[in-house]
Structure 1
Amino acid sequence: MTRLDSSIHHVSVSTPDGPFSVVANDSHVLASGWTWDIAALLKLIHPELREFTGESAPDAGAPPAPVRAPGPAGRASVLDQAAEAVAAYYAGDTAAVDGVPVKQRSGPFREQAWEVLRQVAPGAPLTYAGYAERAGRPRAVRAAAGACAMNAAALFVPCHRVIRTDGGLGGFRYGVQIKESLLRREAAPAPSLRADPRPESPAR
């Protein structure tokens, strides 16, 4: 079992696309995705942002008990904010997740690319090539696809809004069916399911 630092908390909620879990510290979401498996989410977090010294993460396969961070007096915790944003997203406010604070660590390009992802509006997906250009490195299509593949904070950092140049969905860590569902929910013209079996793959 993975040990959680006392400042790291998690919550899981049900959605039409399956269980959605969030791992956060006291100020930011660190990882999220359509799974009950908190230990798997913890592995996505950069080592600088996590320390496994406290509570045990639940085993995969069973819904974990929510562990919520106590928010400052009069203010909801980051986990409460994230859970409310996910509920609002699935209720039709697809921009609700935009304001949830997220922290990820990597190299300069990847961190910049993740910030760019947060600016991609619902219903206006980019191709991997267009994403690379918007991130400031138009020839770095594979690096841009890598930023999608390594994104730990799914939905809040919307890597599902990047698709292949050839019209296919590309890959998605939580399955292309969920990616298609999200794009349809956001009123985007979701491409046909021509998925790469890998978590993410660059456009060709």
Structure 2
Amino acid sequence: MQIFLSDRIPTPIGELLLIADQQGQVRGLDWSDHEQRLMKLLDARYRQHPFLLQTADNPAGLSEMIQRYFAGELAVLSQIPVVSHGTPFQCSVWQQLRLIPAGSTISYGELAKRVDRPRAVRAVGAANGANPISIIVPCHRVIGANGMMTGYAGGLPRKQWLLKHEGFLR
């Protein structure tokens, strides 16, 4: 059984739950009020290799890096190592999400084009919604084709706050 480390991080818009491995790679990050959803995602991903959670203070400095993001150091997210287990399609979507710079957004249709599946807009939306590493894998940077705010597992008010924090919204 593998050991994952967990920490709770206060932010201006709620507490985050961080799950990291012992090598300092983020395996999960979500809002504490969505902890059950995160644990279901992780349990499904690691069914073949179960894990045990241990509480840790600032594992591998990751909690501090996330706090730096909330303090305005937006580029720190790109320095945080992540490991995501999903289908090859989901992983391709999540990799593309990490390429969206802070302060910008793309549509689900554009994201589908970037993973070479231009007609798979709904599948891209489903992969985006199954992302177990919120903020670092910035699913909040994907919006509707008409520029409207669309679903975010953490809630639209948090999505709006994150986009404003990154300078996209005024």
Residue in structure 1 matched with residue 169 of structure 2 by the alignment: 189
TM norm structure 1:
0.74
Structure 2 runs not aligned, ≥5 long = none
Displacement of 1:30 after TM fit?
1.1
Q: How many residues align?
A: 167
Greater helix proportion: 2
Paired letter, 2:50:
E
**Aligned with residue 31 of structure 2, among 31, 34, 41:** 34
Matched residue, 1:159: 139
31, 55, 67: which one aligns with 2:55: 67
1:173 aligns with 2:169: no
Matched position secondary structure for 2:74 = coil
Counterpart code for 1:95:
A
Measure, in 2, the Cα distance between the counterparts of 1:36 and 1:145: 22
From the superposition, tell whether residues 146 and 36 of structure 1 become closer, same or farther in structure 2 (CA, over 3 Å).
Answer: closer
Following superposition, the deviation at residue 49 of structure 1 comes to 7.1
Q: Is the 8 A contact 1:21 1:32 kept in 2?
A: yes
By relative contact order (CA 8 Å, sep 6+), the higher-ranking structure is 2
In 1, the alpha carbon distance for the partners of 2:91 and 2:37 equals 21
Residue 50 of structure 2: aligned partner: 51
Bigger Rg, structure 1 or 2: 1
Provide the identity percentage.
29
Q: Verify the 8 A CA contact 1:116 1:134 in the aligned structure 2.
A: yes
- State the alpha-carbon separation in 1 of the partners of residues 149 and 32 from structure 2: 21
Change in CA separation of 1:40 and 1:139 when aligned onto 2, cut-off 3 Å: closer
Alignment pair present for 1:22 and 2:22: no
How far 1:41 moved relative to its partner?
2.3
Q: Where does the alignment leave 5 or more consecutive residues of structure 1 unmatched? A: 56-65, 70-76, 191-204
RMSD: 2.1
Q: How far apart are residue 37 of structure 1 and its match?
A: 6.0
Cα shift at 1:90? 0.9
